[in-house]
Amino acid sequence: MEAKPKFLSAWILAPFETVEFTDGVVFKKQKVFEATRQVDLQEFADKLITAYERLDEEGYNPISVIPVNTGSMEFTTSGGNPVGEVGYSVTRGAVVMGQLKSESD
């Protein structure tokens, strides 16, 4: 039997939140878009639990969670005039590190 590595990683990436809104006054139209500044936190949490469970099933104790951030920028305007750019980052994923369980675990 081949020895298991001492450490194992599992990574996750959650989608952006989906936002729905009605556009128009007379001819209303339903629109859907990805809000690139918001992550679907429920799916993020579900994927994190799945990563922990996978590590546990494979014989590893989760020892750390390293966040994965994505960055972007948007142009801003004031009164229709360009003002500049605003940068931001969103924690969108994680790398979960696991350490091989000892015989006493």
pLDDT tens digits for range 27-79: 778 887 778 888 999 999 999 999 999 999 999 999 999 999 988 888 888 88
3-class DSSP state of 15 = coil
Say yes or no to pLDDT of 1 above 70. Answer: no
The verdict on residue 105 lying in a domain is no
- Residue 94 forms part of a structural domain: yes
Does residue 1 sit within a domain? no
State CA 20 to chain mean position distance.
20
* 98 band by pLDDT with thresholds 50, 70 and 90: very high
Distance CA 95, CA 34 (A): 23
Give the model's pLDDT for residue 21.
Answer: 76
63 in a structural domain: yes
Domain count, the chain: 1
- Whether 92 and 12 have beta carbons less than 8 Å apart is answered as no
pLDDT score for 81 = 86
Tell me whether residue 16 is in a domain: yes
Contacts of residue 1, Cβ cutoff 8 Å, sequence gap at least 6: none
Quick one: average pLDDT of 85-104? 91
Give this prediction's pTM.
Answer: 0.73
Domain extent, residue 13, equals 7-100
**60 three-class SS:** strand
Instruction: Assign 22 a pLDDT band (cuts: 50, 70, 90).
Output: confident
Average pLDDT rounded to a whole number, residues 70-95: 88
**74 within some domain:** yes
Closest C-alpha to 40, from 58, 14, 11:
14
Burial grade of 51 (CB within 10 A; 0-12, 13-18, 19 or more): buried
